[in-house]
Structure 1
Amino acid sequence: MNNTRRILKIFESFKKDQYFTLILTFIMTVLTAVVTFQVKTLIDTIMGKGELSDIYSTSALILVITAIIICIDVYTNYFWHNLRHRGMNFMRSKMYKAALYKPITFFKENSSGDVIAKVMDDSSVLGENAVISMPMFWSNIIRLIVVLVVLFMLNISLAILVVLSIPLYYILFNLINARMRKASSNERNAFGKLFSNVQEKINGISETKIYKKENFIFGLFKQDMNRYLKCIKKVVLFNALGMGISGLFTSVLPILVLIYGVFLTYNNVITIGTLIAFYTYLSFLNEPINNLSDFNLGLQRSLGMSDRVLDFLEVEGDNQENKLTIDLFNKIDVKNVTFAYKKNKLVLKDINFSINRGEKIAIIGESGSGKTSLMNLIMGFYQPIKGEILVNKENVYKYSEESLFSKISLLQQNPIIFSGTIKDNILFGENNLEPRLETIIKYTKLGSLVERFEKGLEEEITEEGSNLSGGEKQRISIARAIIREPELLILDEPTSALDVKTEASIVEHLDSYINEKNITMIAITHKPAILSICDKVYHIFDKKLKIYNMQDKIDRSVIMNIVDRLKENEENIS
């Protein structure tokens, strides 16, 4: 199926509205044609010294029909623009939903700026053109046919002159189509990169300020803008050429018609009323011609970016149907796992371990040693290049994402705070968990935060949690992770932003909560407070993994020495 058919299929639900706009256009076009003939009659009556009553009645009819046309035109414009915006929002929604269901690897391989550009910008252009393209094309074809029929009814010779000029117009226009499509595709790709670079620089505004690099960053932005301008210039050029061709048609043709029409009038072939009516109604040919030109330019631009949008909408990853479901998270087995992001650059090699339900495991190692990669493998975000990860003796990739993730809670190293209230951020759409809020707030020491705000849990959090401290963000994220009562709790440096006293209290409550609910915990951390509640510690070093038993005094001592050394190395690096 080619791109045009795929796009039309996506927008099938808009067909009734599209047909309705065609009906409105047809009615308005017919009424306009009636007015033209009435104008001819009026002028010929005046020139022929006709009855005054006929002049009055014809004038009144023209005014009534014109008023009706105006009313229909206003409503058509309202309906048309409403349909256009609905199409844009419809496509944005589809793209945003597609983004949410992309595998995590997709976001590792594609810049967030390019993803946002596709979701918000490419989709709106394609959505707008897709939803109005069919009614725009056919409504203007209808107008074109009606106008030509009326012109032929007025005078065949003048109408033939008009018809002969139309093919020349479209021949010239088609010369720029392929170039326009390619230029539009290149412009969209360049815009995605520009968007990504701007987002990156805005996210790093603190570093820019601290190092006093405003001018340097602005210089990089100007370079990015210049690269983008080179691409947009080609699009603007082809748009200008298209408009120039339209201008040539709408400017030269009326002059030729007027000259030829005067000649026919002079030789008494047509009346002055016919010439005025023909010349006046000829202007109604300009709108459908220009609209079809705009349609063509918009179509080429849409087709130029259609691959980006349609590829984005494709479902990636394995089909989730007929996959296994998890009743209980009993055991994790990692067998001979080797992993690399790039060939010949191993991150983990021949990793083996087992985790039973209810165990508390810590993973330690230097920065970049593969701790987070190991967590991503366990959650099924990535696949190992060798070995397998089993959950309840079945390969983790055999389980549906919905079933697997319903048993897991994840707290990332940099806590994610969403716009909305404090309560919204904890419940995360699961309002049925609200009865647990009081207990969770106590466990995560959020009481002081709730009391600090006038609206308490209903306080709105500003963008990216700018009205919260790092520790408060972390505690909200911990609350979000444990309120679900997951069977597997994965924590990545969960207390890095907490003071010692708060950390100790939260870890104590967390330990009792995990034991009470029989939750399996895996934590990436070097913090002694969390290490003290763990059953085992996995040390990743030189792509290998060694297991230490925290119940053994010698192992515990070795771990604490390793942690001290890791902390010292991190301080030296910083």
Structure 2
Amino acid sequence: MLKKVFKSTPQMIVALFFAAFNSLLEGIVTVKMMGLIDYAIAGDLELLKQKIPPLLIFALTLLPVGILTSITKAWYKKDANLAIKMHYVRGVFKKNISEFQKENTANYISRLTNDCNTIDKNFIDGIYTVFQGIANFFVGIWIISTVSPWMIFLSLIIMVANVIIGAVMRKPLERNYKERSDMFDGYTSYIKEVLSAFHIVKSNNLQEKVTKDYYEKSEEIQKKGYHIEKMMTFINGAQHLTMNTSMYGILCILGYLTIQGKITAGGLLIVAQGIQKLAWPLFMLSEALPKVFTSKSLSVKIGDSLKNSDTYEENLSMSDFEDHIVLQDVEFQYEDEIDSKKILTNVNLNIKKNGKYLIVGPSGGGKSTLLKLLRKYFAPTSGNILIDGKPLRDVKKEDYFSMIANVEQQVFIFQDTLRNNITLYKSYSEEEIGAAIEAAGLTSFVQSLPDGLDTMIYDNGRNISGGERSRVVIARAMLTKASILFMDEAFASLDMERAREIEQTILKLKDITVINVSHVVFRDTKKQYDGVFTVKGTVKPLLGQE
């Protein structure tokens, strides 16, 4: 993941160029000040007058260069942060649906917020600080070398010592940053859970327990942060001791050279300022280097979370469903089932193109699981699913998903306009949208809204009823003109009359295969299905039964 930061290398180079140029200008001003001080002490007014104008020019140039330095740094950070976050989001949407659902969604949120923010502070900012510090360090060396060249050697020793200390402390810091990241995953999951169950917490007087649990989880994270800060304090202390000892040594040597007359008064003042220029980047490096080194483990953790354990290669393109879907001796069990119980066993089913099929059965019998297999969300544990005689598992997901429409049991509504929730941001004519709205029984509802289809829907549809939410999703599915329509308890939130009307409309559609899982069964519409099956671990036909 850290490699994605280097997609912003051009921006980083520009930002570092201005940072280095700014540091160089400051160094030039400092060196010119040495001559100015010596001329002033010597009482040479003519030379003093000659040196002041160029010094002022350099000093005034520092203002625009300083502004550009800040702007280009912000530009680099913006693009680098965008690069890592877009890389992560793209990676998440490349995951298989089955593997995505294995993990709490709060963990993905934690990585996109907490972990990405840590990488921003430790790596993106750290890389800039390191290179900026190196530039300032060498400017400081140059300033000192104009007075006493042999001090370059001592300055390099100081820098190497700090790098070694930072590298030695990398491993324990990496471990602690990873542990804190794991804690943030659990913390974010807990917050999501508590807020989702807000009404349950309030109605059952669980505020005290929730507050206590929140305190314990927060305290655990803060303790880990405190431990990391303590480690950083010891690292910085060791580096500061090395730097301060070296700096005091340099000052003692300079004092001796001044007494011996080998350095002028101006030279002494400039070297003192040069030492300050050396000290600041070294202090910054002492903090930034360990953080940069520790970013790798966090990056590895984020990268691992994006990997699919199922790497089966889909190599079959398919533009449409032509004949039939066949399930042959299909069995399925969830990998994380504690008792390894098979949800489906010995399932054999033949679904013909444009046929209408009703699937019923008790809760927990495997109806929704069967739909997940047909939707290609999961692959069978054993057996085969064939579409037009070809293995469904070989068909590319993108091709298959373009052929199907879904009405899920868990309805989801985007925080956007009613139009965009029905069209899912695709282009359709007003006539097509109107027909879908009519088929889903939404016409009177849309007409009652002041802004019609441009009405905003908020927070997964909190400002519309459950039945209206279901009908929006049904309209969404009708509009796609897919070859196959999968419906999972689509009528559960609708009144009986409306549910019967919508079901009859769907059953009259000619060029679509419908597979409807439902507890809501009407005698008159049941007879219109080409097949009625019950699912209870396996699939059996129910035609002719009431």
Q: What is the TM-score normalised by the length of structure 2?
A: 0.92
Superimposed CA distance per residue, residues 265-310 of structure 1 (whole angstroms, 9 cap, x where no aligned partner): 2232311111100001221113322333343133133212011222
Structure 1 stretch 521-530 or stretch 20-29: which is displaced more?
Answer: 20-29
Aligned counterparts of 1:321 and 1:388: Cα–Cα separation in 2: 15
- Of residues 287-296 and 182-191 in structure 1, the stretch that sits farther from structure 2 once superposed is 287-296
Cα distance in 1, alignment partners of residues 452 and 366 from structure 2: 40
- 1:474 pairs with 2:467: no
- Tell me how far apart the structure 2 counterparts of residues 31 and 106 of structure 1 sit (CA, whole Å): 55
Counterpart of 2:268 in structure 1 is: 275
Is the partner of 1:244 in helix, strand or coil?
helix
Query: By how many angstroms is 1:531 displaced?
Result: 4.0
Match of 1:185 in 2: 178
Which of 284, 287, 299 does residue 291 from structure 1 map onto? 284
What's the offset of the Cα at 1:532? 5.4
Residues 404 and 304 (structure 1), Cα distance of their counterparts in 2 relative to 1, 3 Å cut: same
Partner SS, residue 145 of structure 1:
helix
8 Å CA contact 1:371–1:540 kept in 2: the answer is yes
How many Å apart are 1:65 and its aligned residue?
0.9
Indicate conservation of the 8 Å contact 1:11/1:131, yes or no: yes
Name the residue aligned to 1:540.
535
Q: In the alignment, is the contact (CA less than 8 A) between 2:15 and 2:76 conserved in 1?
A: no
SS of match in other structure, 2:428: helix
Report % sequence identity. 20
CA contact (8 A) 2:321 2:387 kept: no
Instruction: Say which SS state the counterpart of residue 380 (structure 2) adopts.
Output: coil
| Structure 1 counterpart of 2:216, from 215, 220, 223 | 223
Give the structure-1-normalised TM-score.
Answer: 0.88
Structure 2, gaps ≥5 residues long: none
* 1:337 aligned onto 2:292: no
Structure 2 residue identity aligned to 1:398: D
Amino acid paired to 1:534: Y
- One of 22, 41, 51 as aligned partner of 1:47: 41
8 Å contact kept, 1:525–1:531: no
Residues 1:521 and 2:514 are matched in the alignment: yes
Q: Which amino acid aligns with 1:84?
A: K
Deviation at 1:94, TM superposition (A): 1.6
Instruction: After TM superposition, list the pairs within 5 Å mapping 1:74-473 onto structure 2.
Output: 74-126=67-119, 136-156=129-149, 159-248=152-241, 253-314=246-307, 317-318=310-311, 322-341=315-334, 342=337, 344-432=340-428, 434-473=430-469
What residue number does 1:3 align with? Answer: none
What one-letter code is carried by the residue in structure 2 that aligns with 1:48?
A
Determine helix, strand or coil for the equivalent of 2:88. Answer: helix
Shift of 1:540: 1.8
Change (3 A) 1:217 1:526: same
Deviation at 1:521, TM superposition (A): 1.0
Aligned to 1:572: none
Contact 1:102 1:316 in 2 (8 A): no
* Change in 2 beyond 3 A, CA 1:496/1:216: same
CA distance in 2, matches of 1:167, 1:22: 22
With over 3 angstroms needed to count, the CA separation of the structure-2 counterparts of 1:433 and 1:109, relative to structure 1, is farther
Change (3 A) 1:432 1:121: farther
Mapped to 1, the partners of 2:160 and 2:264 lie a distance apart of: 29
Deviation at 1:188, TM superposition (A): 1.2
User: Which 5+ residue runs of structure 1 have no aligned equivalent?
Assistant: 1-5, 558-574
Deviates most, 472-481 or 246-255: 246-255
Q: Secondary structure at the match of 1:117?
A: helix
Distance (Å, rounded) in 1 between the aligned partners of 2:430 and 2:392 = 31
SS for the counterpart of 2:504 is helix
When residues 156 and 205 of structure 1 are mapped into structure 2, their CA distance, relative to the original with a 3 A threshold, is same
Q: Deviations over 1:59-89 (max 9, x none)?
A: 3333321221232121111111121021111
**What secondary structure does 2:542 align onto?**
strand
Tell me the CA shift for residue 127 of structure 1: 5.8
The size of the alignment, in residue pairs, is 541
Q: Is the 8 A contact 1:389 1:396 kept in 2?
A: yes
Moved more, 462-471 or 116-125: 116-125
Question: Cα distance, 1:259 vs. partner?
Answer: 3.7
SS at match of 1:358: coil
Please say if 1:484 is aligned against 2:469.
no
> Do the aligned residues in 1 keep the contact of 2:141 with 2:274 (CA within 8 Å)?
no
Q: Deviations over 1:22-44 (max 9, x none)?
A: 33233223322211211111111
SS at match of 1:486: coil
C-alpha separation in 1, matches of 2:92 and 2:163: 39
Contact 1:329 1:407 in 2 (8 A): no
Q: What amino acid sits opposite 1:537 in the alignment?
A: V
Q: Does 1:72 align with 2:65?
A: yes
Q: Secondary structure at the match of 1:292?
A: helix
Q: Deviations over 1:163-214 (max 9, x none)?
A: 4433333333333111111111111122112111211221122222222212
Supply the AA of the counterpart residue of 1:7: L
Displacement of 1:336 in angstroms is: 0.7
Once the two structures are overlaid, the 10-residue window that deviates more, 298-307 or 246-255, is: 246-255
SS at 1:429 equivalent: coil
Instruction: Provide the C-alpha distance between the structure 2 equivalents of 1:296 and 1:379, rounded to a whole number of angstroms.
Output: 49
Which has the larger share of helix?
1
